[in-house]
Amino acid sequence: MAQMYKLTKDERCGVYNKVFSTDEGKIVLASIMSICGVDTISADLQNPNITYYNEGARAVGLKIKMIINEKEKKDVRIK
């Protein structure tokens, strides 16, 4: 686990893409995105604390998405 922090940005991106591009990885990624509420509205009009909590979970999912998409951005710039 500590080794993850020693990876460069490109290495981390590669590892995420390697894992999440497998069939099993795609299932896990979809589950993580669902758990994090990435594609749902996080606001709770009755309780702002729930909104903050939901946004915290959503931020985790969005960070994972961002890391995965870094490779795609880089590939587009190279072309």
Q: Is residue 3 part of a domain?
A: no
User: Whole domain around residue 28: which residue ranges?
Assistant: 8-78
pLDDT for residue 6: 86
Q: Is residue 65 part of a domain?
A: yes
User: How far out from the chain centre does Cα 31 lie?
Assistant: 11
Q: Is residue 1 part of a domain?
A: no
- Nearest-Å Rg of the Cα atoms of the chain is 15
Q: Is residue 73 part of a domain?
A: yes
Q: Is 7 left (phi over 0), alpha (psi -120 to 50) or beta?
A: beta
Q: Is residue 69 part of a domain?
A: yes
By residue count, the chain amounts to: 79
Total structural domains in the chain? 1
Dump pLDDT digits (tens) for 48-78.
999 999 999 999 999 999 999 986 666 555 5
What's the sign of the alpha-carbon dihedral 18, 24, 30, 31?
A: negative
pTM of this prediction?
0.78
- Exposed, middle or buried: residue 30 (CB in 10 Å: 0-12, 13-18, 19+)? exposed
CA–CA distance, 52 with 42 (Å, rounded to integer): 8
pLDDT for residue 74: 61
